[in-house]
């Protein structure tokens, strides 16, 4: 896969292509494309594009269970995002590092990252980012044994029209696992509660709860 003539014209258009390849599970092709975009961004002095691809390279490494590489790429992407105040990328990397913490048994570290992600996402007011935070925190609570709170967050996120497909699938998988451990009455009560608060109110409450 090559960038072809006048690569800078095509860079921004190729980013969604790489994301689509990642979503389809075509990690080898996605990785090659992101690496080429990163290389070309550097050559043309576009550090925003170059560093932006690091997050996606980290996602690919995470999907392939290369957690060491994923950690390095997320952290480098996060450091750059903080330096230039790219709040959306800050949220994405904190969320990713939170999930990585859960996968590698570092629950306290995961909680810190999820809290930072949620706190940063609320002022942005972008539902897909907030819902991604909620999905990660639901997984955190499930790991801590708070199944009702985990189910509440996962259900509220899964039913929102703004949720991304991959995040929705994670929430639905979590709910399926929780269903085996909660009684039908308890689960029904949780699902009814998930219909009540609006997203902003729920995120604000959750941010406070995570501080405790």
Give the pLDDT band (50/70/90) at residue 3: very low
The pTM score is 0.88
User: What's the confidence (pLDDT) of residue 43?
Assistant: 81
Mean pLDDT, residues 74-92? 95
Give the pLDDT band (50/70/90) at residue 208: confident
Tokens of 23: 């979503």
Tokens of 8: 């800078």
Do residues 95 and 73 touch, judged by C-beta distance below 8 A?
no
Between the CA of residue 112 and those of 58, 70, 196, 208, what are the distances in Å? 19, 18, 27, 13
Do residues 90 and 75 touch, judged by C-beta distance below 8 A?
no
User: What's the confidence (pLDDT) of residue 199?
Assistant: 86
Tell which wins on pLDDT, 69 or 155: 69
Mean pLDDT, residues 133-162? 92
Among 46, 191, 45, 110, residue whose Cα is nearest residue 15? 46
Report the distance separating Cα 201 and Cα 212, nearest Å: 18
Q: What separation, in Å, do the N-terminal and C-terminal C-alpha atoms of the chain show?
A: 49
């Amino acid at each position: 896969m090559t960038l072809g003539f006048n690569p800078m014209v095509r860079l921004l258009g190729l980013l969604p292509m790489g994301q689509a390849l990642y979503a389809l599970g075509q990690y080898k092709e996605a990785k090659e494309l992101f690496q080429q975009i990163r290389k070309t961004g550097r050559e043309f002095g576009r550090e925003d594009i170059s560093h932006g691809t690091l997050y996606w390279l980290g996602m690919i490494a995470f999907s392939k269970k290369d957690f060491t590489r994923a950690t390095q790429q997320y952290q480098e992407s996060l450091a750059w995002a903080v330096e230039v105040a790219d709040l959306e990328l800050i949220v994405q990397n904190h969320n990713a590092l939170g999930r990585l913490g859960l996968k590698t048994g570092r629950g306290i570290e995961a909680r810190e990252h999820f809290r930072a992600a949620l706190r940063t996402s609320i002022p942005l007011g972008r539902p897909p980012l907030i819902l991604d935070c909620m999905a990660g925190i639901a997984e955190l609570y499930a790991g801590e044994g708070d199944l009702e709170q985990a189910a509440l967050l996962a259900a509220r996120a899964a039913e929102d029209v703004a949720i991304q497909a991959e995040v929705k699938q994670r929430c639905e998988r979590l709910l399926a696992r929780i269903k085996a451990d909660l009684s039908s009455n308890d689960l029904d009560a949780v699902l009814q509660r998930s219909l009540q608060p609006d997203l902003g109110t729920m995120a604000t409450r959750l941010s406070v709860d995570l501080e405790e």
